[in-house]
Amino acid sequence: MARHEPWSAERATGIIAEHTHLEGATLPILHALQETFGYVDQGAVPLIAEALNLSRAEVHGCVTFYHDFRAHPAGRHEVKLCRAEACQAMGSDKLHREILGRLGCGWHETTADGGATVEPVYCLGLCANGPAALVDGEPLAHLTADALEAALTEVRQ
């Protein structure tokens, strides 16, 4: 199941046009593009710059400053693992080594089958119930490697 559409400059132009009336439209546009295409294509930078009367450098700076925005397509599903202190106190570092070992990839990487991309995050606000994760935006508390595997199996169906 494809969650994202293939990149299309025409479609991107339409999405950008829906947001230009907003004050400070850059971030809402980037979020909308990433939600549609799964990443922010290089080709979007001049389109946004043109629509918002900004320089390409300003838009490029914005895309690269924020951890959320990706320059390349990611896996079909997104796993965000919390690496912050409250989860560390519940042994998240060890758990993450086990999870990455099972998935066979590192931070910011995608599994060999393209099924999942793993991103580190610093706090999901589930700090009394760590370790915590988000799988395609759905929270998982008291995380174990088995629970993550089950959640990934579920979203793949």
Partner 1 sequence: MSVTLYVPRDAVALGLGANKVARALFAGAERRGLDVTIVRTGSRGLTWLEPMVEVGTPEGRIAYGPVKIEDVDALLDAGLTTGGDHALRLGDPEKIPYLARQQRLTFHRCGVIDPVSVDDYRAHGGYRGLEAALKLDAEGIVAAVRESGLRGRGGAGFPAGIKWNTVMLAKGEQKYVVCNADEGDSGTFADRMMMEGDPFNLIEGMTIAGIATGATRGYIYLRSEYPQAFATLKEAIANGINAGVLGDDILGSGKKFHLEVRLGAGAYICGEETSLLESLEGKRGIVRAKPPIPALKGFLGKPTLVNNVMTFTAVPWILEHGAQAYADYGMGRSLGTLPIQLAGNVKHGGLIEMAFGITLRQVIEEFGGGTRSGRPVRAVQVGGPLGAYFPDHLLDTPLDYEAMAAQKGLVGHGGIVVFDDTVDMASQARFAFEFCATESCGKCTPCRIGATRGVETMDKVIAGIRPEANLKLVADLCEVMTDGSLCAMGGLTPMPVMSAITHFPEDFRRAGSLPAAAE
Residues at the interface with partner 1 (CB under 8 A): 23-28, 30-31, 52, 58, 61-62, 65-69, 80, 84-90, 121-130, 132, 134, 137-142
> Do 131 and 90 contact (CB within 8 A), yes or no?
yes
Question: Distance (Å, rounded) from C-alpha 83 to C-alpha 93?
Answer: 7
**Residue 72 CB, nearest approach to partner 1 (Å):** 16
Shortest separation between residue 132's beta carbon and partner 1, angstroms: 7
Say how far apart CA 125 and CA 132 lie, in whole Å.
Answer: 9
Estimate to the nearest angstrom the gap between the alpha carbon of 3 and the chain centroid. 13
User: Three-state SS for 36?
Assistant: helix
Q: Where are the beta strands (DSSP E) in the chain?
A: 77-82, 116-121, 133-135, 138-140
Measured distance CA(66)–CA(41) in Å, rounded: 15
Least Cβ distance, residue 19 to partner 1 (angstroms): 10
Residue 39 or 69 having the CB closest to partner 1: 69
Q: Toward partner 1, which CB reaches closer, 8 or 88?
A: 88
Q: How far is the CB of 115 from partner 1 (least distance, A)?
A: 21
Instruction: Pick the closer one to partner 1 by CB: 113 or 156.
Output: 156
Q: 11 vs 83, which CB is nearer to partner 1?
A: 83
Gyration radius of the chain's alpha carbons: 17
Which residue lies nearer to partner 1 by CB, 52 or 100?
52
CB 112, min distance to partner 1, A: 25
